[in-house]
Amino acid sequence: MSSNKTLSAIVANKIENQIICGNWQVGSQIPPEQELMQTFDVSRITIREAIKTLVSRDVLEIRRGCGTFVSAVPGLSDDPLGLRFIASDDLNTYLFEARQILEPSVCRLAAQRGDAEELVLLKQLAEDIDELDAQLQGKKTTPEVIQAITAKDIAFHTFLCRMSKNPVFERMLPVIIKSVRASYSLLVPRLSNGPRVSIHGEIYKAVAAHDGDEAYRLMVAHLSNSRQGFDQKVKKERNAKGGKTELPQK
């Protein structure tokens, strides 16, 4: 029984990888049981246990009479940290500050603990981001490109948390995701008109080399660069609205 549970956990992780890499889109229906059994070469019981696990994590949702679908926000309940109750114009700034403190350490752990299969997926995400970033540099900014690069960036940072093998960091993903979404919605105009800032490929290389210190340094540099653009954009928008321009001190 215990070995079957272990196998179902492995299958659950593989199903998650399909979602993280974008092979199964948010809101889409996953393949039927028979196809999953053939894909992962396991029994129907194992597939059902894996799906049950992912439903409990809010990664998948079962719709009666329709089938099993990827959750709207995979792995996350709605505002689990109660952020909507924080009445502050500076919430996104505080979220970014939290990222700057946490993510470099997460990146170091990912470099130390990531396995070969995870590195393949991380590399693909980094390449996808660089390809989309090149479109921004080429003045091909469209709502579709913005949405795609935001989704891939979220997936990249989320996957690093998973690679850290620290379940506490994995459960703190709502903070990171909300911050990434806020920063990209503000930074896209700057990205399309300014110097290239994507260093996801370099971060991947450091993680793949299991160089925790270099991975840490690169993430610090990446977030510092993003924070500068984020702060500038926030101040500009507040000036335009005639509101306060002061940001929390760093």
Please, what is the average pLDDT of the chain?
Answer: 82
Residue 81 has pLDDT above 80, yes or no: no
Look up the CATH number of the domain holding residue 8: 1.10.10.10
Are 131 and 237 contained in the same domain? yes
170 within a domain of the structure (yes/no): yes
Final residue in a domain of this structure, among 70, 96, 122 = 70
Mean pLDDT to the nearest integer, 91-98: 83
Residue 128 belongs to domain spanning: 83-241
Are 8 and 113 contained in the same domain? no
Are 129 and 64 contained in the same domain? no
Are 184 and 110 contained in the same domain? yes
Are 65 and 138 contained in the same domain? no
Model pLDDT, residue 1: 42
Number of domains in the chain: 2
Rg (CA), the chain: 19
- The helix/strand/coil state of 42 is coil
78 within a domain of the structure (yes/no): no
- The helix/strand/coil state of 3 is helix
Angle at 122 between CA 117 and CA 127, to 5 degrees: 130
Mean pLDDT lowest among 62-71, 112-121, 197-206, 239-248: 239-248
Note the pLDDT tens digit of each residue in 149-195.
888 888 899 899 999 999 888 878 656 766 666 555 555 554 545 44
Are 49 and 97 contained in the same domain? no
pTM above 0.85, yes or no: no
Mean pLDDT to the nearest integer, 63-83: 75
Are 209 and 137 contained in the same domain? yes
Q: Tell me how far apart the alpha carbons of residues 207 and 204 are, in angstroms, rounded to a whole number.
A: 5
Mean pLDDT lowest among 25-29, 87-91, 115-119, 186-190: 186-190
Mean pLDDT lowest among 52-66, 86-100, 187-201: 187-201
Are 119 and 202 contained in the same domain? yes
Model pLDDT, residue 195: 45
42 within a domain of the structure (yes/no): yes
